[in-house]
Structure 1
Amino acid sequence: MAKPILVTGAGGLLGDALVRLLADRGDAVHALVHRTRPDFPASVTVHHVDLARAPLDLPRVEPECIFHLAQSPHYTSFPQGANDVFMVNTWATQALLDFAASRNCSRFVLASSGGVYAPSPSPVCEDGQLASAWTQNHYVATKLAAETLAQAYRDKLAVSILRVFFCYGSRQRDTMLIPRLINSVRDGKPIHLQGPSGLSLNPVHVDDAAEAFAATRSAVGHQTVNVAGPQAIDLRTLGGVIGECVGRVPSFEERPGPSPHLIADISKMQAELAPPRLGIAEGLAEVIQNTPQ
């Protein structure tokens, strides 16, 4: 009988997609959620756990793998939400790592962020420069701390750190980047750009991100891998693609300064995990089609 798999943040965009993917493949999934009540397949065991409150009431199982995908809903609220963000991103990571080591878990997969990198005009590789203590925000600091904690357990279990770049999908909260851009174009509100083009990025569709996370199950040893989409695009061009999908002409407001870049090199993702399949136009069309106006 296959050992169970734990997924935290199972009520979120990526967690939901990963739970369904693993369940479809026949895995015994234990989904940890906070307040949400996902309509998961009957084979999925749901546990309501608040990762921001000690001590953690974790399932009494011996998991083969733990996917720690949870994110505090207060990630943009600083300093008011700083403690909640720290508890979910850093303290819960430590608690889960300790749980994994004590239960003979074979792999721990941590969802980190592409925001941990220092700004770069070229695509960033996994060994690229990280944000300094003076340039990183609180959220990034907690993610880097979680990465450091996970790496400290490398003698106890295999560790996969996946740095996700702008994951998007049709169930995403309106406060996230892609839904905000879609709503701005639909509502005739301007998209704010830093410089003439705005941020350049390669966002990843949630289905591709879930495939990449699931592929860590067959990884050998430790890994740190960027998870991003196959196509780099700037916000001005992205607004135009959205406009074509919704039948509206986007408007823009430029702010002075150079246009920033946060583009991931996905060579390791393609070689070690699963190459992304959905380009921007196809991915946005799916989101817009399945998002009520």
Structure 2
Amino acid sequence: MNILVTGATGFVGAWLVRRLMTEHEVFCLTRNSDILPQHARVHVIQQDLTVPLNQARLPGTMDVIVHLAQSRQFRKFPDQALDIFQVNTDSTLQLLEYGRRAGIKTFVLASSGGVCGYQPKPILETDPPEIINFYLASKYSAECLVKAYADYFSTVTLRYFFVYGEGQRNMFMPSLVERVLQGTPVVVAGKTGVSMNPVHVADAVEATARAIQIEGQETINVAGPEVTTVFDLAESIGRLTGKKPEYQFEPEKGPMAMVANIEKMKLKLGVMPKVSLQEGLGRLILDMTGKR
């Protein structure tokens, strides 16, 4: 198949391109092609998603679009609100329209488990949204746009929960590793901090690769099978690195869980995550330090 991937040089995108290029023609929509693999089936399309799509650079036909790109400015609201909206929401509409004209069979959108907020029970895909910030508003808006095109092709929204792994930097899990290694206090709300079930990038990519075969309209959580907390993660990192974590405990501010129900991922995608939390943390730490 011919597959267009946005965010192809991002964390999940870079892993996905390597997964897909052995079987498919992969068209990478990206601002920076320097880190893409040199491969006969990898094709570069230069495009900045903060400006309108250059239709002249896009193939006339396409089978699948996997929209992974997200704004790099997602932490900078309100100063970078326009950038966040353009990349996360406006580009989604432009890609949907391109996909309709190009005759795609499937559109896969990368969204966030955070659109349902913090909940006292495992989050189902059917739970109502609980939008807690502008970034998540932009993601949920993109979800709504994708669903509106379900009459024209299959639409799959993947809600990722705390994806982590080798090659990731400046996000939750690697930042937690850095804090433990540097002796910087880990901020913990209440006794344990937020509960979550992180998923290793290899398992998230397997779920994404299988999503391109889905027919119809689906929203699917992508998360790991093991529930943990900020405190437990810091303790595990401490054991793996030989560094005793420092903590800064703060009062709880309401529900402290963002845990996904993953039954639909197992049923619809046939994916049961293979990388345990212990193994995944060890691989991330090795990647960051060069030693166990």
Report the TM-score when normalising by structure 1.
0.94
Distance 1:168 1:147, change over 3 A: same
**Separation of aligned partners in 2, 1:71 and 1:205:** 19
**Separation of aligned partners in 2, 1:61 and 1:275:** 36
The code of the aligned residue for 1:252 comes to: Y
1:177-206: CA deviations, max 9, x gaps?
001100000001110011110011111111
What SS does the corresponding residue of 1:142 show, helix, strand or coil? helix
The code of the aligned residue for 1:152 comes to: A
Instruction: Pick the aligned partner of 1:31 from 28, 32, 35.
Output: 28
The code of the aligned residue for 2:15 comes to: A
What SS does the corresponding residue of 2:275 show, helix, strand or coil? coil
Instruction: Pick the aligned partner of 1:278 from 272, 275, 280.
Output: 275
Displacement of 1:36: 5.0
The code of the aligned residue for 2:174 comes to: P
Counterpart check, 1:246 vs 2:241: yes
Displacement of 1:287: 1.0
What SS does the corresponding residue of 2:21 show, helix, strand or coil? helix
Where in structure 1 are there 5+ consecutive unaligned residues?
none
TM alignment of 1:121-140, pairs within 5 A: 121-132=120-131, 136-140=132-136
The code of the aligned residue for 1:9 comes to: G
1:126-180: CA deviations, max 9, x gaps?
0112115xxx211011011100000000001100000001111111122x10011
Displacement of 1:251: 1.4
What SS does the corresponding residue of 2:212 show, helix, strand or coil? helix
Instruction: Pick the aligned partner of 1:193 from 185, 188, 193.
Output: 188
**Separation of aligned partners in 1, 2:245 and 2:54:** 46
Instruction: Pick the aligned partner of 1:8 from 6, 10, 22.
Output: 6
Counterpart check, 1:262 vs 2:241: no
**Separation of aligned partners in 2, 1:60 and 1:36:** 18
- More moved, 249-258 vs 34-43: 34-43
Where in structure 2 are there 5+ consecutive unaligned residues?
none
* Correspondence for 2:145: 149
What SS does the corresponding residue of 1:226 show, helix, strand or coil? strand
Percent of paired sites with the same residue: 37
The code of the aligned residue for 1:280 comes to: L
Report the TM-score when normalising by structure 2.
0.94
**Separation of aligned partners in 2, 1:284 and 1:13:** 16
1:41-62: CA deviations, max 9, x gaps?
4121122210111244542241
**Separation of aligned partners in 2, 1:54 and 1:47:** 14
**Separation of aligned partners in 1, 2:33 and 2:130:** 33
Distance 1:164 1:232, change over 3 A: same
* Correspondence for 1:112: 111
The code of the aligned residue for 1:230 comes to: P
The code of the aligned residue for 2:66 comes to: F
What SS does the corresponding residue of 1:218 show, helix, strand or coil? coil
1:217-240: CA deviations, max 9, x gaps?
222211100001111100100001
**Separation of aligned partners in 2, 1:52 and 1:27:** 27
